[in-house]
Every structure is written in structure tokens, then in C-alpha cells.
Amino acid sequence: MTDPNLDLAVIGNGRTAALLDAAARIVWWCLPRYDGDPVFCRLVAGAEEKGFTDIVVERLAEARSEYIRNTAIVTTTLIDHNDAAVRVTDFAPRFPTYGRTFRPPQLVRILQPVAGLPRVTIRFRPTHRYGELVASRSSGSNHIRYWRDEVPVRLTTDAPLSYIENEAPFVLTRPVHMVFGVDEPFDGALETTCRDFFERTRDYWLEWVRRLAFSVDWQDEVIRAAITLKLSSFEETGAIVAALTTSIPEGPGSGRTWDYRYCWMRDAFFVVRALNRIGATKTMEDFISYILAIAAGRTEPLRAVYGIVHSEPLDERIAANLAGYGGDGPVRIGNAAVAQEQHDVYGSVILAATPMFFDRRLPRPGDEGLFRQIEPLGEQAAKIALTPDSGIWEYRGRKSVHTHSAAMCWAGCQRLEAIAEHLGLQARSQYWNAAAQKIGAGLLERAWNPKRNAFTGALDGDDLDASVLLLPDLGLIEPKDPKFVSTVEAIERELRREKHVMRYVAADDLGLPETAFLICRFWLIDALWAIGRREEAREMFVDALALRNRFGLLSEDAHPVTGKLWGNFPQTYSMSGLILTAQRVSRTWEDRYWRGWS
């Protein structure tokens, strides 16, 4: 196995997204949407040089790569030993036009000579069928079509086509433009259109960020996290993917390689909550539409995960032509979690919908009709709250009555009580109050383990689990309750590794976990803040920010010894946690400017 790293940036537009490294090599891009067959799969191709596009500068000496401030546009400057340089600009077009959002399944790359006469080679090596090299292509006057079964990919460019087809070097003396996308003719002059797309896409992101609301500290970090979450929302349906990749291992040699290009209800709830906290409510409204398409009139249990088109199957299989991230496979397509019972899903959906009834900014607030549509989810939550499931960590080999799952069912019923009260539906409010009371009393009694002096991960259990750190946040217990304070202390003793936090340390169906789950660190920081250890919480948060890669992004896990990022990328759980914790532990504008806290 090689020793790869996740020092990658993401570009996207709400329909498609790609990952590129610090030298402007695009190593992951699925077409025509997040869950599609990858055109570029180099990220999980092991040692094979396939599934990528890049710009090779002869005698490369230095590469400098960064986002254009407050946008999803990446610029990379490649400099050779003679100080000749080329600037590469990468983005996915996104901007308003004709009253709609223009977001095609398309990437744009612009090459500009900025010093000297750089000698470059353009390489374009697409794949299909999850890792097979595309063997057939044809050229037009200004494009190359690569035949990929049902979805051919077209490269439209004003670079010399023969140089690209033969991967021949040439001297870059003028700007070159490249558009990657589905096999559709490109309208308009290429140079003019690419420049226009760039300017309008830049302006869109600058305006989107301008409307966000933050606390005073860590604004740049929160902005980057917010843009990343925005890029994880498939706006056509409202689905929010957990990550943009499949099968980045949770740790070296772990076998924990899963496909995260789908919509988990709990992950989506955290995304909605984080974006709502900073004023980006449209993602929530789109997600509620997605949920209603799933839940309206359904009689079967709600699943924990759905495709970005909810009716599509997610049967899990292995991609035989891909060796894995650094050769560390297998690479999976689909996710067997679709067949699991995960009871927290009901509370996640209800909690995600709750702000629709109370946020006065929304043009179409929730009404009794919406309430009646989500009530059946509460009925199911009340019925199954104290029964076994696979839990938040999706154990594949065992079931328990998990504390977090039961707590989320309680929270769903409690929020329905609040919504009914808000709507003046007194009888329904009383009904849901009784349902929540019944769940809550049994939950808190059975989750408490006096021998461990802590709430445990399962009712009547012994093992600690970081997910119980969410109990006060859900409203089930006061944060300064002695039982919760002692739980935090127990988790610090057993699950904390320096400043990293493990989900759990007991062996699961794949053995002992090796890496720390990044969202758990943010949960512990929130808990420390809530119980009054605030300076320690701020220090731990600053340390967590240092784990981000050069582009400000986080994956799912970090190795507690090396700090290296592992797991699917970029992980919405982690980026949501960053936003929520930053807003919690930041100084307010009043603290900074009126009280003189420097």
C-alpha cells in the first residue's frame, strides 16, 4: 500500500462535485451526479495511474493551491525550475439565470501562463464501470468524446486536441480553456463563456456568503465549512449526502470502507442544523421536500439512508476494478445500512423539520398540514423507542436498545408536543407530552449505570459511547446535572486519546476501532462548554481546527497518534460539528467590540 493523504479541495455546484489535490490533479468526479459512475477515480485506484486529469509542468519546482476567498473556486499556480508558471483555475458553474439556478453536470478548467514560457502536458484519463479505462473515443473540431456506456463524457477545449490525445508536451503561450461534462454541444464562444461562467460563479458564492450570520471568532473556518456543506446538498431533490466519496478507510487496514454518497437522515439533520444556525435556511426547506417525498403516505418503516433519488436501490457490492485508497480496499458501491433498523432516524427527521414551524424568516412556514404529515413518524418513534436497533454507529453484527436511538425518539415526540402547542392543537400537544414522558422516564433510568457512574451507550449496558454527550443538547437532561457531569468525566477517562475522542473502545464486528471520530471531539467540546469548563473547551476547539487540511476541510476520522485524516471526505458530520461548536464557543460581537474582550 502507498501512503496517501486527504489534502484535497472540493469544487461543485449542487449537482456535481469533484476533488482535486494541491497540484491541480482531479482525482475524483462522478457523472452525472454525486452517486454516479466516476469519470475520475484515481483516489481509490491504488497504484494504477487511471481515472484523473492533470496538468504536468516540466521540471515542476513548486505548487501553490488555494480557494478564492469565500467561493468554491480553486486556483493552483504551478512553477517550474526556471520560474515559468501557469495558473490553473477550477470550478463547477453555478449562478442564477432566467429565474433559475444554472448548475450543469460540468467542470471548467482554465489554464493561464503567468510567467515565462511553461511547458505543459494535459492528461485526461477517464474511466467508467467503476475503474475500467475508457477505450473508445472520437474527436470533433474542438472536442473529444469518450464513450462511457449510457453517459459519455465530452471534453471541450481550445487546446490542441492532438496534444491531449497523445499526451504530448507543448509551450503554453496563451490561456487555454477546458470544459468537462456530459455529451452535449457547447454553446457560445469557449473563451468568452468560460470567463463569464467564472465571474458569475464567483459572484454567486460571494453573495451567498455575504448573507450568512456568524459569531465573531473563526469566521473563515466557518465559511469554508458552510460552503462545503452547501456542496453536499443535491438540490434537485433536496437530499444531503454524508460525503462525496466511497470507501476511504476509517483507518489503515481496517476493512471499514463504506459508500457515503447517499443521504443519511441523521447526518442531514446535523447539516440542516448547522446551516440554519448561520442563516442558510434554504437547504432545510429543500431537505423537508425530500423527506416528504419519502414519508408521505408510507406504511413501511423509515430507513436510515436513501439514495439522492429516494426510490433507487442501494444494494452493496464490490468494485472489482478498483484497488482502494492507497491500495487499502475493498471499494464498495451501495451501502448495506439500507437494510438496518436505526431508530434515531425518526427523531432526526422531526428535529430537522421543527424549525419550519418556528423560524419567522421562512417564506412558507410549517402549518397544520405539515404537522399532520410528520406525526406518523412520531407514532413510529413512540412505538419502537425502547426496542433494539443497530444504533448510530451502524453495528452490522449486533443489536441493542441504544441510548442515543431512544433519546432521538424521545426528542421527536417532545418536538411534536412543542409544534402542536405552537399551532394551538392542545389535544395533540398533550398526547405527545405523554408519549415523550413515557419514553424519557424509562430511558434515563435504564441508561444510567451506577457502577460506571455514567450514562452508557445502551440501556442496561456497561460500555461507554460518545453519543450520550448529546443528551443535554436534545433537552433530555440538564448539562450541569451531576449524572451528566460524571458521564463527561468517564468519557474523558476512557474514550479520550489526548484531545481526540473515540466513538467507543469495545470491539465491534470488525474488531477494535483504531481511529477517532471527529464529530465526537466536537460533542465533547460542547459538553465541556455546557458544564462550565469553557477555557478548556476553547483550547480543545482551536486544537481541532489544526486537523483540517490545507483547504480547511475535514474527513470522518483522525488517527489519535499521527493526527492523519481518514474516512470519507469531505465529511458533513465533521464540517457540521465545526460550525455548531464554533458558534457555541465563539465570543459574541458584543463581547468583542462593546465589552473590550481582546
pLDDT value, residue 323: 97
Same-domain pairing of 198 and 73: yes
CATH for 17: 2.70.98.10
Torsions phi, psi for 395 (to 5 deg)? -55, 135
CA angle 133, 135, 140 (to 5 degrees): 120
- Using the 3D structure, point to which of 208, 234, 257 is the last residue of a domain: 208
Half-sphere exposure of residue 379: CA atoms within 13 angstroms, side-chain side? 12
Where a domain ends, among 173, 208, 243? 208
Structurally, the chain folds into a number of domains equal to: 2
C-alpha cell at 505: 473502545
Q: Do 292 and 200 sit in the same domain of this protein?
A: no
List own/partner pairs for 94-101 with CB under 8 A and 24 or more apart. 94/13, 94/14, 94/201, 94/204, 94/205, 95/197, 95/200, 95/201, 95/203, 95/204, 96/204, 97/200, 101/14, 101/235
CA–chain centroid gap for 233, Å, is: 9
pLDDT of residue 598: 44
Domain-embedded: residue 265: yes
Residue 423: CB atoms within 10 A of its CB come to 16
Query: 3 in a domain, yes or no?
Result: no
* Shared domain check, 278 and 165: no
Residue 594 has pLDDT above 60, yes or no: no
Q: Which amino acid is at 77?
A: T
Model confidence pLDDT, tens digit, residues 335-375: 999 999 999 999 999 999 999 999 988 888 999 999 999 99
The predicted-structure confidence for 161-213, as pLDDT tens digits, reads as follows: 999 999 999 999 999 999 999 988 877 899 999 999 999 999 999 999 999 99
User: pLDDT confidence of 2, banded at 50, 70, 90?
Assistant: low
Q: Let me know whether 396 and 508 are in one domain.
A: yes
Q: Give how far the C-alpha of residue 490 lies from the chain's centroid of Cα atoms, to the nearest Å.
A: 30
Nearest to residue 404, comparing CAs of 386, 387, 391, 415? 391
13 in the same domain as 82: yes
Tell me the pLDDT band of 123, cut-offs 50, 70 and 90.
very high
pLDDT tens by residue, 282-337: 999 999 999 989 987 677 899 999 999 999 999 999 999 999 999 999 999 999 99
Statement to judge: residues 182 and 238 lie in one domain: no
* Domain's final residue, options 162, 182, 208: 208
- Domain-located, residue 107: yes
Which three three-digit cell numbers place residue 441? 422516564
- In this prediction, residue 113 carries a pLDDT of 98
Asked whether residue 598 is assigned to any structural domain, the reply reads no
Confirm whether 104 is domain-assigned: yes
The verdict on 435 and 504 lying in the same domain is yes
510: domain CATH number? 1.50.10.10
Q: Quick check: is 119 in a domain?
A: yes
Are residues 128 and 220 located together in one domain of the fold? no
My answer on whether 191 and 240 are in the same domain is no
pLDDT digits (tens, 9 = 90+) for 428-473: 999 999 999 999 989 999 999 999 999 999 999 999 999 999 999 9
Shared domain for 198 and 324, answered yes or no, is: no
C-alpha cell, 549: 487540511
Question: What pLDDT is recorded for position 4?
Answer: 80
Domain residues for the domain of 479 are 211-593
Identify whether 1 is part of a domain: no
**Which residue do the cell numbers 425530500 mark?**
290
Q: Please provide the average confidence, as pLDDT, over all residues in the chain.
A: 95
DSSP 259: B
Closest CA to 347 of 373, 370, 374, 366: 374
Question: What pLDDT, in 10s, does the model give residues 27-74?
Answer: 999 999 999 999 999 999 999 999 999 999 999 999 999 999 999 999
Tell whether 253 and 288 lie within a shared domain. Answer: yes
Residue 559 shares a structural domain with residue 423: yes
Tell me, yes or no, whether 2 lies in a domain: no
Place of cell 453536470: 105
pLDDT at position 508: 87
In the block, residue with C-alpha cell 446535572: 481
Q: Is the pLDDT of residue 1 over 50?
A: no
